[in-house]
Structure 1
Amino acid sequence: MSFHKKVLMSVLRFLARWAIRKYQPGIIGITGSVGKTSTKEAVLAVLRQIRKVRASSGNFNNEFGLPLTILGGWTKAGGIFFWPKVIAVSLFRLLIGTSYPEVLILEYGADRPGDLKYLLDIARPQIGIVTAIGDIPVHVEFYAGPDAVAREKSHLVESLPAQGFAILNFDDDTVYDMRERTRAHVMTFGFGERAEIRTTNFENRMENGEPAGIAFKLEYGGSFVPVRLDGTFGRVQAYAAAAAAAVGLAFGMNLVKISEALSYYQVPPRRGKILQGIKETRIFDDSYNASPLSMHAAIDTIKEFKAKRKVAVFGDMLEIGKYAIEAHEEVGRLAAKVFDVIFAIGPRARFIADIANKTGIAKKNIFAFDTADEAKMTVQDVIAKGDLILVKGSRAMGLEKIVEEIKGPIV
């Protein structure tokens, strides 16, 4: 790490800690291997009905993004004068005083060992949410193994005060086990029968033959409310809503108010939205990022829809190290049961293609490319009327280029 970067990190940490001490906001921390940003947006939708709230922008969840959220809700970083401006504006606000949110909703990323402890040293939450980790978590390449990733993530719940709340995914065994590592009050969410905030009657809704959104019930303490989310699909969004409901309950909201607030939830871009495509196709745009757990969830979602053909555009799943071959081959096995045509983008995604071919998809319906730029015109040529197209891969694979190539005009 360069000297200038170290200095900038130190300055941002100092200013962010100053802001926390000065304004003393409530802090909600979110970590996990998948679903952090969707959960953050769902919590924001719920709490903004009763509090003045600020949430991190995009994936501002590291040593630079987290302080930026604390210091002023900056939405993007970049440019030669950006960091001097941040420092100058932050100093001015801290010295003269200004209005400040009552609650901060922060994402805590953990790309490498020690990341969580660094971020917690800046801002220690009173409420911590762990979304999901899975058997092969993203970023495991930089850890000794999946257990080491889980230990890093568990620092969030370990840091919570006794009067705080640890909100844990009941359906993820690794996350649920973290209840033993916190002194805070534990609340669980999920589809499992013993989850405290339980999701039932889940369905991907159709209206006039077109995907419309999801609907489900949230059950808590013997009561339940229906929840309907438009323009978003898959169980991962129901998990985000249930975690947000737990936060609402911790703030004293009732289920009816929580359900009403969730109707304002907007799924973040490229995280499970269905778009109109060219040639009267539909695109399930989940291109923002990918891990084994989120890949399996996306395939399960597509399985529930009807379409003339189902087409998958898979990119590499990065940062999973020695588990890469195993994880990509498992995606290939699952995909062969659901899809009619597969595009594999990147060297690792070829393992998806190879296994899919061996387990049921004809060679003529499998296409492999090194990059999204090379693939996008062929994807455009191959897709046809009535197709449902899943686009999913790690962020660095740039699969949004394919989405842009095949999506239809905005009506």
Structure 2
Amino acid sequence: MTLLWSRADLLAATSGRFPSSTSHNIAGTGVSIDTRTLNAGDVFIALRGERSNGHEHVAAALHSGAAAVVVHEPCGIDDPRILHVADTLDALRDMARFARARFAGRVVGVTGSVGKTSVKDMLRHALQACGATHYAVASYNNHWGVPLTLARLPADAAYCVSEIGMNHVGEILPLARMVRPDVAVVTTVASSHLGLMGSIDAIAREKAEILRALPAGGTGIIPDGITGEDHFARNAAQAGATLWRAGHNADCPVYAGDATHDARGSRFELRLPGWRGVAHINAPGRHMADNAMLALAAAYACGADMDHAVAGLATFAPGAGRGAMARVMQDKVALLDESYNASPASVRAALDLLGLVATGRRVAVLGDMLELGTFARHEHQALLPALRANADIVFCCGPNMKTLFDTLPSSLQGGWTPDSEQLAPLVRAALRAGDTVMVKGSHGSRMRHVVTALQTDAARVGPA
């Protein structure tokens, strides 16, 4: 196990204090904020949140073999492993900055309205083929996820990939300055969090903040024709960074051409400043190919060996809830699992993917898209053309999706319910052999209930 945190480093990073009566050795090999997943040797940080308080689990952390426990509240326990700090979230951030400062490898920051996690995971596969790579697990891209990723960063890794997310103004830049990326990737600017941000231009301005954290000589990568391109160009210029546009026009510094797309994946010619080759991704959908283009451009900007990076990318597969394909219901129905989250742009991409991969009846199952505010009704109803083009029957849940469902032609209306738990058995009962069903909705819509219902052994399928 790699040593991440010694006693001296914890003290230097946090300005905290261990019990003065001891000089107990600390050998932290991981960092945890959740005792349910804590491993022996982890440094446990007792964060206080709106719904939980890590200080209530200090004893459990010590019992599970934590190398150290970081607290800012009295816990009534006398143990030489307890590090007292002024504030545990600030201590986590200080640990992140300390770990980033001692890291000599290359760092990539990824943001965007949709596609962040997919691009991060693609980069992980591409860069791991070139050297030791540290990366954000799951979607750790917020005010605790970003510093937790950095606090876990081994000093001797070659690469680090960090997601950076936001849903309010002013969130990107502090996180980006903590990450200090050498390369910054912006996947998209779209209407995710539109209700909280107020306008697409405001979203673009916020996403462009990541470029302000680039060093002079760093590289920013954006899709060609991205909304608010002026914001990105201005911030890159002020940072003294190079800005690459990535797209399908031959004048783009990052150019993907001669592409072929089918249900198995995509193949495309990729031209970068100083490199040219052919890439393949084993994930269907044009949006996945565009994500792969961005990931490979970032790998190249990091100085990675591109033959190895391209080979590494070919090992990528979409994860659960993010485009994974599976056979369900006695192997007679194909499930396209897009249930993790949703925005207008990602729903359209998922519907296009349904149209691409389905060989039988195309079944779309949609839950509410959240954080759209006063734009919710319009954004949900605007999905109608994509549904007409890519679905044969549609099931919906949630009050916002009701506005869409009511505008559908009766031939497309499969059913609507107030929530996903009520929708799940309705969908399951309606499926037939040969169907392809796509499930998508915002995380808060809990569309995983539908996926679980289709995966259960009790699921039965009707005749074709």
Normalising by structure 2, we get a TM-score of 0.75
Match of 1:190 among 247, 265, 269: 247
The corresponding residue for 1:269 is: 320
Matches within 5 A, 1:316-335: 316-335=368-387
Bigger radius of gyration, 1 or 2? 2
Distance 1:125 1:345 in 2: 40
The corresponding residue for 1:393 is: 441
Give SS of 1:304's match: helix
Deviation at 1:7, TM superposition (A): 2.9
Unaligned runs of 5+ in 1: 74-97, 206-210
Pairing 1:216–2:268 present: yes
Corresponding letter in the other structure for 2:143: E
Distance 1:24 1:248 in 2: 16
CA contact (8 A) 2:219 2:301 kept: yes
CA offset digits 1:320-354 (Å, max 9, x no partner):
11111111001123202321111011111112212
Distance 1:8 1:355 in 2: 50
Distance 1:222 1:107 in 2: 27
Deviation at 1:306, TM superposition (A): 4.5
Deviation at 1:388, TM superposition (A): 1.3
Distance 1:216 1:345 in 2: 38
Compared CA separation, residues 366 and 42, structure 1 to 2 (3 A): same
Give SS of 1:62's match: coil
CA offset digits 1:297-324 (Å, max 9, x no partner):
1122222344331110011110111111
Corresponding letter in the other structure for 1:392: K
Deviation at 1:226, TM superposition (A): 3.0
Deviation at 1:4, TM superposition (A): 7.6
Larger mean CA deviation between 191-200 and 165-174 belongs to 191-200
Distance 1:132 1:186 in 2: 15
The corresponding residue for 1:381 is: 429
Match of 1:260 among 269, 294, 311: 311
Match of 1:71 among 134, 151, 166: 151
The corresponding residue for 2:196 is: 142
Distance 1:42 1:9 in 2: 30
Matches within 5 A, 1:223-302: 224-230=276-282, 232-253=283-304, 255-278=306-329, 280-302=332-354
Deviation at 1:253, TM superposition (A): 4.0
Deviation at 1:406, TM superposition (A): 1.4
Distance 1:161 1:223 in 2: 23
Matches within 5 A, 1:10-409: 10-72=90-152, 99-134=155-190, 136=191, 138-175=192-229, 178-182=232-236, 183-205=240-262, 211-220=263-272, 224-230=276-282, 232-253=283-304, 255-278=306-329, 280-357=332-409, 361-362=410-411, 365-407=413-455
CA offset digits 1:41-77 (Å, max 9, x no partner):
111112122232200000101111111111116xxxx
For the aligned residue pairs, the C-alpha RMSD in angstroms reads 2.5
Corresponding letter in the other structure for 1:158: R
Larger relative contact order (CA 8 Å, sep ≥ 6): 1
Identity of aligned residues (%): 25
Corresponding letter in the other structure for 1:39: V
CA contact (8 A) 1:201 1:217 kept: yes
How many pairs were matched up?
A: 373
Deviation at 1:124, TM superposition (A): 1.7
Larger mean CA deviation between 368-377 and 179-188 belongs to 179-188
Distance 1:177 1:193 in 2: 23
Distance 2:99 2:218 in 1: 21
Compared CA separation, residues 28 and 255, structure 1 to 2 (3 A): closer
Distance 2:177 2:358 in 1: 49
Distance 2:167 2:349 in 1: 22
Deviation at 1:24, TM superposition (A): 4.4
Unaligned runs of 5+ in 2: 1-48, 55-85, 458-464
CA contact (8 A) 2:255 2:270 kept: yes
CA offset digits 1:252-294 (Å, max 9, x no partner):
3454333212112232321112211225111111111111111
Normalising by structure 1, we get a TM-score of 0.84
Deviation at 1:141, TM superposition (A): 1.8
Give SS of 1:264's match: coil
Deviation at 1:222, TM superposition (A): 8.7
Compared CA separation, residues 322 and 163, structure 1 to 2 (3 A): same
Compared CA separation, residues 322 and 193, structure 1 to 2 (3 A): farther
Deviation at 1:405, TM superposition (A): 1.6
Distance 1:24 1:223 in 2: 25
Compared CA separation, residues 320 and 107, structure 1 to 2 (3 A): same
Distance 2:109 2:275 in 1: 27
Distance 1:50 1:256 in 2: 9
Compared CA separation, residues 33 and 284, structure 1 to 2 (3 A): same
Compared CA separation, residues 176 and 310, structure 1 to 2 (3 A): farther
CA contact (8 A) 2:129 2:309 kept: no
Give SS of 1:173's match: coil
CA contact (8 A) 1:171 1:192 kept: no
CA contact (8 A) 2:96 2:147 kept: yes
Compared CA separation, residues 283 and 4, structure 1 to 2 (3 A): closer
Deviation at 1:242, TM superposition (A): 0.8
